[in-house]
Structures are given as C-alpha cells and as structure tokens.
C-alpha cells in the first residue's frame, strides 16, 4: 500500500473560487462537494464546500474546504505548499499564476544554493514556495 501526503487547505467561504483558481493554474480534475449535498439544503452554508479535491496531470493532489461555523479559521500561519522539481518552464508557469495577484516575499531567482527559489502568498492568502532545481553535474 502507498501513502501520500496531500495539502488540505481551509478557507472562510471562498474554497470554490480558490480551488477553481488552482485548477486554472495546475490543470486537472476538480471535484467539489457542498455541505448541502450531505446535509440540509436550506442551511446557510449549503453552497459552501465541504470537501474539494484537485488531481493534477503532474500528480499533485490538493484538497480544501470551507470552515463551518463553530470551527476556528486561522489562515496563512500554519502551512506552506512547496512545489519543487527540475521542470523550470512548468514551475515558472505555476509561479507566475500564483504570485500574479498575491504578494511576493522572496522573488523567484537564483539562490546561494544554486537553485531558483521564490516564496509568495496567493490572492487567497495561501503561502507557496517554488524551488527549481539545477541539473547536477
């Protein structure tokens, strides 16, 4: 049996928009289930996302949900999603889209360890790190 580690991001009512944005960045198949599908359809949170999952062509799995009433929501302080590899064009494309309407804390550029690295928060406040590895000689 194989184990996988997948980021699961909590949102405060905008999980649908965030996951649709991530699908536009990474491609892939997006499945969204609402609270109304599994509970009272007239609930104030019926249209919010109970569970969303994006499976990308690159093998990434990203999951998310809206935080229901009564649960704590503390965005941006406990998690960063890291993307790394040696596919520079692919990773730069992700970086461009993720940082476009967000805030860059470390520009994507060559670092002292030889790789290109950048850090940003996207327009939803989710922190991302991108590391483009250099070929080893």
> Which pLDDT does position 3 carry in this prediction?
62
Greatest C-alpha distance within the chain: 61
> Which pLDDT does position 24 carry in this prediction?
98
Q: What is the token pair recorded at 75? A: 């965005």
CA nearest neighbour of 122 among 101, 95, 92: 101
> Which pLDDT does position 120 carry in this prediction?
95
Q: Which residues of the chain have pLDDT under 50?
A: none
Give every CB contact of residue 117 below 8 A, 6+ residues apart in sequence. Answer: 106, 108, 109, 111, 129, 130, 131, 132
What is the distance between the alpha carbons of residues 97 and 30, in angstroms, rounded to a whole number?
18
Dump pLDDT digits (tens) for 104-134. 999 999 998 889 999 999 999 999 999 999 8
What is the distance between the alpha carbons of residues 90 and 92, in angstroms, rounded to a whole number?
6
> Which pLDDT does position 76 carry in this prediction?
67
What is the CB-side half-sphere exposure of residue 114 using CA atoms within 13 A? Answer: 6
Strands 80-85 and 103-110: unpaired
pTM equals 0.82
């Amino acid at each position: 049996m194989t184990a996988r580690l997948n980021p699961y991001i909590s949102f405060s009512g905008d999980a649908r928009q965030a996951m649709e944005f991530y699908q536009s960045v990474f491609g892939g198949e997006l499945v969204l289930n609402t609270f109304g599908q599994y509970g009272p359809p007239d609930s104030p949170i019926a249209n919010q996302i109970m569970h969303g999952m994006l499976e990308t062509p690159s093998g990434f799995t990203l999951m998310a949900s809206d935080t229901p009433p009564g649960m704590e929501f503390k965005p941006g302080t406990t998690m960063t999603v890291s993307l790394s590899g040696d596919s520079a064009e692919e990773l730069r494309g992700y970086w461009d889209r993720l940082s476009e309407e967000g805030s860059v804390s470390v520009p994507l550029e060559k670092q002292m360890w030889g790789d290109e690295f950048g850090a940003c928060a996207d327009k939803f406040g989710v922190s991302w790190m991108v590391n483009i590895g250099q070929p080893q000689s």
